[in-house]
Copies of this chain bind each other. A is one copy, B any other.
Amino acid sequence: MKEFKVIEVKRSILEDNDADAALLREELKAQGTFLLNLMSSPGAGKTTMLKRLISMLKDEMRIGVMEADIDSDVDAQAIADMGVRAIQLHTGGMCHLDASMTRQGLREFNAGNLDLVVLENVGNLVCPAEFDTGACRNVMILSVPEGDDKPLKYPLMFSVCDVALINKIDVLPYFDFDMDKCQEYIHMRNPEAKIIPISAKNGEGFMEWAQWLREQVAAWADSR
């Protein structure tokens, strides 16, 4: 069992989260650290996706993961066991992270030594979409069992994401999920969103997904 730190993050005292998030992005740019905000419903497969992604990228970049959870530590343990740096953020019942809470986690990492930090947000399709965490890019996971109509019901989440990963495509035969319709609904909300169908279980789609992230991390470092 690898060690990881647990931090009880505090709600922001800043009134202007947007300004704070913009400032955090500037700080991250100055130190060349790319911060990815990962959002989804509970159980869409954030941690399983991350584990596979980390196994593909950990030899080419320095990675840290911040696991936000209301109470438990199971995800941070799973990530730490993969040999990358992990921090557990306890939100104390809060349903999302803001820029200030994100900064509290980054401070513990000394993020300047890392190329990529992934913030695994609280499992929730509503509140996390409303708060800019200071991340360079937002990624959301929609899983096949949740249904193809979710972009209709949770509009903001799909509007704010740069990438929508459609996970668990290995179980497509067992669900009534229309991939074309789902992609159409996502693009209704956000014509710019990149959509990548994946299976965190068998690895399908991960070449494209990892390549997108590689290019983003490199471009961020180059833009300093």
Contacts from A to B (Cβ < 8 Å): 41-43, 69-72, 74, 93, 95, 122-127, 130, 143, 145-147, 149-150, 152-156, 168, 171, 174-175
Contact = CB atoms under 8 A, between A and B. Distances in A.
Lowest 4 A-B CB distances belong to which pairs? A43-B146, A145-B145, A95-B126, A72-B152
A171 B177 CA distance: 14
Contacts of A125: 42, 123-124
Nearest to A75: B153
Given A42-B41, A145-B171, A153 B74 contact: yes
A71 B152 CA distance: 8
Given A126-B122, A174-B171, A152 B74 contact: yes
Number of copies of this protein chain within its complex: 2
A90 to B, nearest CB: 11
Contact of A42 (B70, B95, B150, B175): B150
Given A41-B42, A145-B168, A171-B174, A69 B127 contact: no
Given A145-B145, A171-B171, A154 B70 contact: yes
A42 B153 contact: yes
A6 to B, nearest CB: 14
Given A145-B168, A171-B145, A153 B41 contact: no
Contacts of A156: 70, 93
A25 to B, nearest CB: 24
Contacts of A174: 171, 174
Given A93-B156, A153-B74, A174-B171, A43 B130 contact: no
Nearest to A122: B126
Contacts of A152: 71-72, 74
27 contacts: A41-B43, A41-B146, A42-B125, A42-B146, A43-B143, A43-B147, A69-B153, A70-B126, A70-B154, A70-B156, A71-B152, A71-B153, A72-B149, A74-B152, A74-B153, A93-B126, A95-B124, A95-B127, A123-B125, A123-B126, A123-B153, A123-B154, A124-B127, A145-B146, A145-B168, A171-B171, A171-B174
